[in-house]
Amino acid sequence: MKFFVDTAEISEIRELAETGLLDGVTTNPSLIAKSGRKITEVIAEICDVVSGPVSAEVAATEYGQMMKEAEVLSRIAPNVAVKVPLTPDGLRACHSLSQKGVMVNVTLCFSAAQALLAAKAGAAFISPFVGRLDDIGQNGMDLIADITQIYNNYPAIRTEVLVASIRNPIHLIEAAKMGADVATIPPAVIRQLYAHPLTDKGLAAFLADWAKTGQTIA
Ligand code: G3P
């Protein structure tokens, strides 16, 4: 399973890239707004740090303007994935861009029917938002189960399931059990993945015993 980080904070991205566990980055207009920086500069900087896909979202809602914005964003670096919303214009743009060899991430997916449309439009990634479905009393993970099942029925579908709006490690583990290709995870949840009280307790005991030996290794 590929791990992307869902942030536009370059310091967080640099730190995670150093772990060697980071496969890509996703951003959205809210995350860019939070960074307080110009989108083209932030995306260029992220692409210098991460060689995997870096999603940069268009802000237009109309096809022609989306295509213009997509051109600006995809010119930043070869690893930019242009993110478009799951709307008729967004899927039309997805189809045109994918025909031109541009990687497209279709975002704001909340149903299996929408995911099927995105696959037909040639999306490289479909982004179903699990946390936001949970927020309205639906089970976000049911959507991942449906999409993975449907995509697996058609080997010709190349679209990768990119689980988004992840709020906790359980979302990630459930998604991995279902065989989702990618998870985009907020930095705070990535840090949670490392944690287990028995790891901390075990390490403290090992270090205490080691200190008693008076030895050093290097
Ligand atoms: O970037 C898309 C998605 O991951 C947003 O998550 O937490 O704002 O629902 P959230």
What is the reported pLDDT for 172? 98
Cα–Cα distance measured from residue 141 to residue 133, given in angstroms and rounded to the nearest whole number = 9
Q: Is 7 in the pocket of ligand 1 (CB under 6 A)?
A: no
Query: For residue range 97-154, what is the model confidence (pLDDT) as tens digits?
Result: 999 999 999 999 999 999 999 999 999 999 999 999 999 999 999 999 999 999 999 9
Q: Band the pLDDT of 78: cuts 50, 70, 90.
A: very high
What is the reported pLDDT for 196? 97
**Residue whose CA lies nearest to ligand 1 atom number 4:** 165
Domains and CATH numbers, the chain: 2-213 (3.20.20.70)
Rounded to the nearest whole angstrom, what is the distance from the C-alpha of residue 166 to the centroid of ligand 1?
Answer: 7
Q: How far is CA 72 from the centre of its chain?
A: 21
Q: Which of 38, 83, 177, 212 is catalytic?
A: 83
**Residue whose CA lies nearest to ligand 1 atom number 5:** 165
Cα–Cα distance measured from residue 206 to residue 93, given in angstroms and rounded to the nearest whole number = 57
Ramachandran sector of residue 200 (left: φ over 0; alpha: ψ -120 to 50; beta: rest): alpha
| Residue-wise DSSP of 7-73 | ---HHHHHHHHHTT---EEE--HHHHHHHTS-HHHHHHHHHHH--S-EEEE----SHHHHHHHHHHH
What is the reported pLDDT for 145? 98
Percent residues over pLDDT 90 in the chain: 100
Percent residues over pLDDT 70 in the chain: 100
**Residue whose CA lies nearest to ligand 1 atom number 8:** 165
For the chain, give the mean pLDDT: 98
What is the reported pLDDT for 36? 96
Rounded to the nearest whole angstrom, what is the distance from the C-alpha of residue 210 to the centroid of ligand 1?
Answer: 44
What is the reported pLDDT for 79? 98
Q: Which of 57, 86, 161, 165 is the best mutation target for the ligand 1 pocket, counting ligand atoms within 8 Å of the beta carbon and taking the most?
A: 165
Average pLDDT over residues 27-49: 98
What is the reported pLDDT for 175? 98
Q: Is 105 in the pocket of ligand 1 (CB under 6 A)?
A: no
Cα–Cα distance measured from residue 145 to residue 30, given in angstroms and rounded to the nearest whole number = 27
**Residue whose CA lies nearest to ligand 1 atom number 10:** 165
Rounded to the nearest whole angstrom, what is the distance from the C-alpha of residue 183 to the centroid of ligand 1?
Answer: 11
What is the reported pLDDT for 45? 98
Average pLDDT over residues 43-70: 98
Q: Is 165 in the pocket of ligand 1 (CB under 6 A)?
A: yes
Is 38 catalytic? The answer is no
Q: Which residues contact 142 (CB under 8 A, 6 or more apart)?
A: none
Cα–Cα distance measured from residue 39 to residue 47, given in angstroms and rounded to the nearest whole number = 12
Q: Is 55 in the pocket of ligand 1 (CB under 6 A)?
A: no
Average pLDDT over residues 38-57: 98
Q: How many CB atoms lie within 10 A of CB 89?
A: 18
